[in-house]
Amino acid sequence: MKIGFLGLGKMGTPMALRLIAAGHELRVWNRSEGKTEPLIREGAIVAGTPAEAELGADAVITMLFDDAAHEEVLFGANGLLDAMSPGVLHISCSTISVALSERLTKEHAKRGIDFVAAPVFGRPNIAEQGRLWTVMAGAEEAVAKARPLLETFSRGISVVGKEPRQAHAVKLGGNFMIGAVIQTLADSFVYAEGQGIDPESFFETVNSALFQSPFYAGYAKVMLHPPEQPGATMELGEKDLRMLREAAAERGIRLSLADSLAAVFAEARALGISREDWPVGMYRLSQRRNSEHR
């Protein structure tokens, strides 16, 4: 298929490379030109504007940072939406607000464009391995058309409904649970250190006895053996938590743990560590907070 791919960050680039490896023709766009180099080497064509990425495409995939980026890329000058033809499929793999997802659903319907929400779970190294978990929602025919493309970088796909908003809501809920895991690990490791127990030994014991969770193990490894380059930053985690709380508030729901985590993120921002790797930053923040109170 001919695919337009917009957004070549830490996640978008490996996803796009998997599509090229699967034999698809890609026309790519990114705000910073340097990010297109790995795709050019593999045969992708670079578009000068978001609108140009759609030229001749059967499907367009967006993997953009936040709601503001979508406003610019989809609705701005030379934006994607006005360039798309009826019958073209738009797959949104980004983590966006439920409110924006609802707006996009209406805007696509006006234009006769198929719209599928397909946000992904996984860090950049998982994307490189083609082992993301994708959450899909949309009309049945559109979902069926999107599935083969998403399978190129997914180890599994969950279809959660016919309304795109449902997939984006699931993604925000999952990221909230990730935040809870990260905060639990950070505070537990500081607790272990305070008791004179090696955090790694503490974790191996508790995980073996209670969870047997590779997910907990993966984040524990990141905390105790920090990567050279951040995967997901604390800034990204804070953005997703804000969108979760907004979606909950729209339905009259209050999440007490989400409120507590929001306070932790605000503290990290005040201390200027929001751009650190999310698990690593939370661990350091917990250590710093406790060392100051001894």
Question: What element of type H or E holds 157?
Answer: strand 154-161
Burial 60-94 (b: 16+ CB within 10 A, else e): bbbbbbbbebbeebbebeebbbebbeeebbbbbbb
Contact in structure between 235 and 266 (CB atoms under 8 Å): no
Q: Range of 243's domain?
A: 169-292
Contact in structure between 6 and 36 (CB atoms under 8 Å): no
106 is a catalytic site residue: no
Task: Say whether both 135 and 189 belong to one domain.
Answer: no
Q: Which residues contact 225 (CB under 8 A, 6 or more apart)?
A: none
In this structure, how many other beta carbons lie within 10 angstroms of the beta carbon of residue 176? 21
Q: What is the mean pLDDT of each run of 10 residues along the chain (294 residues)?
A: 96 98 97 88 95 95 95 93 94 97 97 97 94 98 98 98 98 97 97 97 98 94 90 91 98 97 95 92 93 66
Amino acid type, 249: A
Task: Say whether both 147 and 239 belong to one domain.
Answer: no
Query: Looking at residue 58, which CATH number applies to its domain?
Result: 3.40.50.720
What is the pLDDT, as a whole number, of residue 293?
A: 59
What is the pLDDT, as a whole number, of residue 250?
A: 96
Full-model pTM:
0.94
Residue pointed to by tokens 């969770």: 213
What is the pLDDT, as a whole number, of residue 45?
A: 96
Amino acid type, 78: N
* Residue that finishes a domain, picked among 161, 187, 207: 161
Contact in structure between 114 and 139 (CB atoms under 8 Å): yes
What is the pLDDT, as a whole number, of residue 32?
A: 81
HSE-CB of 254 using CA atoms within 13 angstroms = 3
Burial 136-160 (b: 16+ CB within 10 A, else e): bbbeeebbebbbebbebbbeebebe
Count of domains for the chain: 2
State residue 63 phi and psi, 5-degree precision: -135, 70
Task: Say whether both 176 and 156 belong to one domain.
Answer: no
* Residue that finishes a domain, picked among 161, 186, 216: 161
Residue pointed to by tokens 């499929």: 89
Contact in structure between 151 and 92 (CB atoms under 8 Å): no
Task: Say whether both 199 and 267 belong to one domain.
Answer: yes
Residue 267: both structure tokens together: 């503290």
Question: What element of type H or E holds 3?
Answer: strand 2-6
Query: Looking at residue 239, which CATH number applies to its domain?
Result: 1.10.1040.10
Task: Say whether both 145 and 9 belong to one domain.
Answer: yes
* Residue that finishes a domain, picked among 161, 188, 203: 161
Q: Which of 35, 171, 221, 239 is catalytic?
A: 171
Q: Which residues contact 29 (CB under 8 A, 6 or more apart)?
A: 4, 5, 6, 36, 46, 47, 48, 49, 50, 52, 53
What is the pLDDT, as a whole number, of residue 211?
A: 92
What is the pLDDT, as a whole number, of residue 151?
A: 98
What is the pLDDT, as a whole number, of residue 131?
A: 98
